[in-house]
Chains A and B, each alone.
Chain A
Amino acid sequence: MNASETPERIVVVGASLAGLRAAEALRDEGFTGELTLIGDEPHAPYDRPPLSKAVLSGWLTTDHTELPRVRDIAARWLLGTSATGLDLRARRVELADGRQVAYDRLLIATGTRARPWPQQQGGTLHGVHVLRTRDDADRLRTALAAGPGRVLVIGAGFTGGEVASVCRDLGLEVTVVHRGDAPLASALGGVVGRAATGWYRDAGVDLRLGTTVRALEGDARGRLRRALLSDGTVVEAEVALVAAGAMANTGWLAGFGLAADAHGVACDHTCRALADDGTPRADVFVAGDVARWPHPLYPGQLLRLDHWDNAVAQARTAAHNMTRPPHDHRAHRPLPAFWSNQFGVNLKCLGLPSLADQVVVTQGSLDEHRFVAAYGHRGRLIAAVAADSPRVLDGYASLIEAGAPFPPELNATDGPDRLLPLDAGFAHRPAPVPDRPTVPSIPPAPSLRSVPAGHE
């Protein structure tokens, strides 16, 4: 069939948040044909944000994390089997078990996986964990519940901070080793990062900044015993969490004609996947953590977001466009938004702070755990982060979208008498941003700047 015709078979590869919400949205859009969801995990779609919080703390077991269903989707579920290949011409997805599934429209929503610890440096030891899936969370929860003498967390990003925070709540000793000068600094900059340093230290975390792990060492039975750090010290620990970022699940697409690489699958603003010659495919779409696309607010690069809200919104846009002719397609250009909870602080973020050159506290104060920090780039407001003020932050959305002047004149009643912008304190200066949106060069080189994965 032709791409402009009504699809009869839609296949969604990836049965997590984006895949499920896309399937529901397809039915909402009136798609009545055959719908197939393919997922490599055996579980029905579940929610990931609770894994690093409520599940680890023991408040929630993973069988209670299943995603609520918005509507009946009458789909064929192929769970516990991964996609291994794609035939764009024949319009078929190949599965690990040898089956082939034909489609008229394909949605790629395979997400990301946790970056593992190198095997030769102790990655295979018992007690070394990552945290991305339900099964990961069950294993880590079991390990924490056993009461280890010390937990080592490698990386003080969002996941690392959440896990370290839960460990302290559980009364466990924690050492966090972080390459940068401050926790969260690659995503939120040095100013907020220094405030976060205080949260870690106040919670009693042994925080080692500017430090890396050289190797993990085990005993004769292959159980983790210690970590050798770059400063020459040794940390004794039976449990380690490797929180070193995420990698796109694109290996199954290699060599099949799409612009996919370790950074994700490139697509256009309407979620259409790009072929490796840079032209959009009319029959293949991308949504969620695996997608990279041009966003008018962030010209000159392809954006990839590990954000819960983005997965839902992009899934809906993709579903709409999959069932409509091109003239009826919608663009996906949400304001990035994510949140995290750690050390008793609710963090919420709008926009992309990592592109900023300056930051200013507009409400509250950094010392009080309760503040809003606004981020500017070349005199324009581009992002805002709120600590323990989630409702307040909504008010910044329209200012960011409008590119309001920075520092913003708010006169907020809980703001400082005078706004004092500081250097945002990102380790790498932002790449120059052109004045006008540019079409990214295709095939995508490694991203101009890797946009730091936010969190949920």
Chain B
Amino acid sequence: MIPGYDLTPPDPKAVRELRLEIEEFHAAYCWTLDRGAIEKWPDFFTDDALYRITGRENAEVALPVGLVYAEGKAMIRDRAFAIARTQMFAPRYMQHFVSNVRVVAAQESAIKAQSNYLLLQTLMEGPTTIHQSGRYYDSFARQGGRLLLSERQCVYDTLIIPNDLIYPV
């Protein structure tokens, strides 16, 4: 669906350690967003990273639009700053759940994985609702021994967004 991820995956047993490392990455990433530390969110990306959120109806036919489309960490920072400090929206809590992590490429020069995500949202006087069900298509670079996202494409199935999507996925 996203070019570059339709690879023949390596034997899962051979890449267990890498999968574990990616799962730990997801846990740290989600913890940062879910506790509201949005201005720390850009730290998970390389300087030239692409971050895009798009509906599955677009991804399946290679339409390029992004609900969010950031080229480079500077644009990612600008979004984090805007959401954290200047945008007007009702308060809410978000929780991410990431599972089904599949390593699809495991060379140190090209680490790619895809994972399912579920994003729950709770408005102050609302129920907790599934805000988005989707899949991450991730490319990682290792810098200073640490994994960083050089690309994260979030493809959501929930085509009709409940009003809006404020925080990053």
Please indicate whether A and B come from the same complex rather than being unrelated chains: no
